[in-house]
Amino acid sequence: MQHQAKGRKFSRVKKVRVALLRSLASNLILREKMTTTEPKAKEIRPYVEKLVTKAKKDTLANRRLVIEEIGQDKKVLAKLFGELGPRFNERRGGYTRIMKLGRRISDGSPMAIIEFV
């Protein structure tokens, strides 16, 4: 039983799962809209929203916290702190939206679009 277990495992070991979340979050930050499976979209939503909340206040400490979470990709950091943080400065949360698309033809996985509001 998984009582109070947080997060989905996606049938992956921990370091592969962390790499998946980082790459999905990086792609969402760079492109601002992406199509993925519904469970992956639901899993990266709080991950990305916490990063945007940290990016709203551009301090050295917040930059280091974001680098620790997402890595040292300069394009992602520039977009996050230069564009997304100031854009959502007045907003208190709920920076992303998930829209369900239906099922994928090949394997029947539920698909969704996740994008910034």
- Token output for 103: 């099922």
Domains, the chain, in order of start with CATH, read 33-116 (3.90.1030.10)
pLDDT-derived band of residue 3, with 50, 70 and 90 as boundaries? confident
Average pLDDT over residues 40-47: 97
pTM exceeds 0.75, yes or no = yes
Q: Any long-range contacts for 4-7 (C-beta under 8 Å, 24+ apart)?
A: 7/43
Average pLDDT over residues 9-21: 96
pLDDT at 71: 92
Distance CA 76, CA 96 (A): 17
pLDDT tens-digit map of 82-92:
999 999 999 99
pLDDT at 4: 85
